[in-house]
Amino acid sequence: AIMDGVHPSLICGAATTVRDCEGLIATPGGIDVHVHFDSAALCEHAISSGITTMIGGSLGPITVGIDCGGAWN
């Protein structure tokens, strides 16, 4: 018997893991929960490394250089 809402072409085998995710949000890829969104290029870099969900914030794009000074600049 096929459960309601399950497409007949979906094939599940003995090794298929079924998870009860009711009330949860499932996303493919990685989730980065500490992002500052300092640059529009950040999204492209994140996606190319497998990150698909980013949670964070910033004051907006940085339009001027950030000077740390010292030996680590």
The answer to whether position 38 is within a domain reads: yes
Range of the domain at 41: 25-67
The answer to whether position 49 is within a domain reads: yes
pTM score of the predicted model = 0.39
Question: What's the CA gap between 19 and 22, in Å, rounded?
Answer: 9
Whether the CB-CB separation of 23 and 43 falls below 8 Å is answered with no
- Strand-pair partners of 56: 35
The answer to whether position 52 is within a domain reads: yes
Q: Tens digits of per-residue pLDDT, 43-66?
A: 888 888 888 888 876 566 666 666
Question: What's the CA gap between 44 and 42, in Å, rounded?
Answer: 6
The answer to whether position 47 is within a domain reads: yes
Domain count, the chain: 1
Question: Tokens for 48?
Answer: 């190319």
Identify which has the larger pLDDT, 1 or 5.
5
Mean pLDDT score across all residues of the chain = 76
